[in-house]
Structure 1
Amino acid sequence: MTTIRSSRPVDAERAVEIWRSAVDATHDFLSPQDRSAIDVMVCDFLPKVPLWLAVDANDYPLAFMFIDNGHMEALFVDPACRGTGIGAALVRHGLALHPTMTTDVNEQNGQAVGFYERMGFKRTGRSPLDGQGRPYPLVHLKHSNQ
């Protein structure tokens, strides 16, 4: 059984572990230098922000989501749990809080683009660079209840 709860300071290390393993499994388009630079930023950032966690029956985090002002900044699932519905459960939780939630996804991550589109998100635009100005195009998405 999976439960969704708010993160606590003790969850920070596990959130970083989830991020690292998920990125290594899905972001093979990142250069090693960019992967390392982003890792440094994430290790500083994740412990400071409120996350929604999907946890198992033993309260062990399996996935996390970060939403800021109705924009999903991050959704990462432990690769061992991909395809089990945990990511979808987190997105549905986010949509219950923010029905017109937006997100951005790396264009090179076709599985993620497809996942969000299956969840009812529609493309609203594209940027040729990521948020840090790196050459990783972003697809901008917004959820539509229609």
Structure 2
Amino acid sequence: MRIKNSSFEHHAQILEVWEKSVRASHHFLNIQQIDQIKILITQHDYFSHVQLFHIELNQQIIAFTGLAYEKIEMLFVDPQYFGQGLGTKLIQHAFSLGVNAVDVNQRNPQALSFYQKHGFQQIARSELDAEGRPFPILHLKRKNDEIYNLENQVLQQKLQPCYSIDH
């Protein structure tokens, strides 16, 4: 499966993936809130304000990401394909395009863990989301690649204790 550029003709399928994914993973939102956000996405044509990329299987979109400048604005995977590396594939593509930031809802620990696993760390926190709702947002930035690679090497090594021998 390769990553493809998305266009307006893909927006309906992308919205379906968004909705399935949100209903499966954003347990802090009730049905009315999800429906309200869906209306905002279509009314304000959110997908046209980001650079969209998607992954297809049998001509059906199963995962997508939306990027703006150096930030991931959205990354969603059809829940049927959770845990199969599609999010990682999309985030690696985003990295290749210079992305180094993302915002995550504090009440979505799975997403926070996913981004931390990929080298992001929290740099700030907002009490309200972009629409002014009481959903705290964590602002994440990717660690410097050199520091991230060094930390991963240290964590992956089994360090042996050092002993000082005095004669």
TM-score relative to the length of structure 2: 0.80
Once the two structures are superposed, residues 30-74 of structure 1 have per-residue CA deviations (whole angstroms, 9 ceiling, x without a partner) of 133322211101223245243111222x34211110110111110
Q: Which runs of 4+ in 1 moved over 4 A?
A: none
State the distance in 2 between where 1:47 and 1:120 align: 26
Alignment of 1:1-146 (within 5 A): 2-44=1-43, 45-49=45-49, 50-56=51-57, 58-99=58-99, 101-144=100-143, 145=145, 146=147
Larger CA deviation: 7-16 vs 77-86: 7-16
Runs of 5+ unmatched residues, structure 1: none
Asked if the contact 2:128–2:135 (Cα under 8 Å) also holds between the matched residues in 1, the reply is yes
Identity level (%) = 34
State the distance in 2 between where 1:38 and 1:10 align: 21
Runs of 5+ unmatched residues, structure 2: 148-167
Look up the equivalent residue of 1:92 and give its one-letter code: Q
TM-score relative to the length of structure 1: 0.91
What is the total number of aligned residue pairs between the two structures? Answer: 143
Asked if the contact 2:52–2:66 (Cα under 8 Å) also holds between the matched residues in 1, the reply is yes
Look up the equivalent residue of 2:91 and give its one-letter code: V
State the distance in 2 between where 1:47 and 1:113 align: 23
- Secondary structure of the equivalent of 2:95? helix
CA apart distance, 1:10 = 1.9
